[in-house]
Structure 1
């Protein structure tokens, strides 16, 4: 596990998820296909920085998808529309919101409204969302990516 001060460059096509943490100075756990990192920046600040790299803002990207796709709640975020994005497990204004990126996932419902998301690299995360909601959100993200460009399959 590597600690970083706050590098939005780690929010890229290899990102699996972003999760808020509350230990010391770290605010975000960034899980990627190649490791786990901790940032002193909030998840929203990291997502904003990633959107800025592709000439947009977090709010701008979310507004565009809301308008084009009519997804008014838990709107997927296309960071680089032809390449990658993420979906929130709940309203992104909640601190417990986890952002899940466009990689294959397996969802296991633990109890009503609580699930574990498993990633291909063996990492998993507990979230306060039902399997139904998570799979719907995952589908919305991929639909949005397909509409905006190339759908990238990851066979890792």
Structure 2
């Protein structure tokens, strides 16, 4: 079995943080060139990294809620100055919640096996890596849009958006 790390430092290379289906670790972190097993859950990794960048997860979440009016599946600006912003695929407390990192997403497309009864999407990262997610393309595109709004608000930028289609 691969080495399991007690925690993970989110960087520009972090693509996604997935929940573990194993009892041996809490999360699988996907980076551009590697996969990392971590004892913490995805939400614990986000909370620890928010504190590292001098804020709390709850403080970041409340700021986004106040500034942008989002109530559910709120994007989290972990470090606005470093453009580290993640958004959840489900409610953060949901067992299947994956966190995706806005700055590394190239495109979201419907998965070939997607159906109305079982929606699926494929996230294509700028590095060329792909990740299948059991969430509809519509929901993920909305989350990407909201993350973009959040990134622009917290970086002070206004204006155009990156097209994902």
- In 2, the alpha carbon distance for the partners of 1:39 and 1:79 equals 18
Deviations 1:114-137 (A, max 9, x none): 212122333322222211111111
Q: SS where residue 19 of structure 2 aligns?
A: strand
1:116 aligns with 2:139: no
Provide the C-alpha distance between the structure 2 equivalents of 1:12 and 1:50, rounded to a whole number of angstroms: 10
- Of residues 37-46 and 22-31 in structure 1, the stretch that sits farther from structure 2 once superposed is 22-31
Provide TM-score, normalisation by structure 1.
Answer: 0.87
Q: CA deviation at 1:35?
A: 1.2
Greater strand proportion: 1
Q: Unpaired segments of 5 or more residues in structure 2?
A: none
User: 2:91, 2:8 → 1: CA distance?
Assistant: 21
1:8 Cα shift? Answer: 2.7
State the shift of 1:50 in Å.
Answer: 0.5
C-alpha displacement at 1:12, in angstroms?
1.9
Q: Who is 1:144 aligned against?
A: 150
CA contact (8 A) 1:76 1:87 kept: yes
Whether the aligned pair in 1 keeps the contact of 2:105 and 2:123 (CA below 8 Å) is: no
Answer with 1 or 2: which has the greater Rg.
2
Q: Unpaired segments of 5 or more residues in structure 1?
A: none
CA RMSD of aligned residues (A): 2.0
In the other structure, the counterpart of 2:108 is: 107
**C-alpha contact (below 8 Å) 1:106/1:118 kept by paired residues:** yes
CA distance in 2, matches of 1:79, 1:4: 23
Residues 8 and 47 in structure 1, CA contact (< 8 A), matched pair in contact too: no
Q: What TM-score results when the alignment is normalised by the length of structure 2?
A: 0.83
Matches within 5 A, 1:39-58: 39-58=38-57
